[in-house]
Amino acid sequence: MDKTMTKELVTSALKMAYKRQKPGKDVIHHSDRGVQYASIQYQKLLKKYEMIGSMSRKGNCYDNACIESFHGILKRELVYQTKYKTREDAKKSLFEYIEFFYNSKWIHSTLGYYTPNEFEQMYGNSAA
């Protein structure tokens, strides 16, 4: 999280996610058409990680329906309910909600009523 979304921010996020998840090659990486994701720096990193880049069609929010739904839940369940004193308070709150509640306790019908962490663990075990 930062004040603005720059190519440095999204590049740093991709590096962090790659280091944490250690995905195999040919993972599809989907994003919107933001200049950050289209930057040479970001595209080179996708190639380095052997990821397949995928971008939404111009002006089509339906291509990002999953993340748009997640953002809606996050705003309704947390952001609109909370008054943050500092940016650091907001970062901490969002991190805790995502990592300790949404990913580990919130079951999803589209994941067979598993949490994201459970589903990822099952997928990881079956893909190995």
**Residues written for the chain:** 128
For the cut 60, the answer to whether the pLDDT of residue 12 exceeds it is yes
Quick check: 73 pLDDT over 70?
yes
DSSP 55: E
pLDDT at 88 over 60: yes
Residue corresponding to tokens 């598993």 = 114
pLDDT tens, residue by residue, 92-125: 999 999 999 999 999 989 899 999 999 988 876 5
- CA gap 84, 88 in Å, rounded: 9
pLDDT tens digits, residue range 16-32?
Answer: 999 988 888 899 999 98
Task: Inform me whether the pLDDT recorded for 126 exceeds 70.
Answer: no
Q: Where are the alpha helices (DSSP H) in the chain?
A: 7-21, 35-38, 40-48, 65-77, 87-96, 116-127
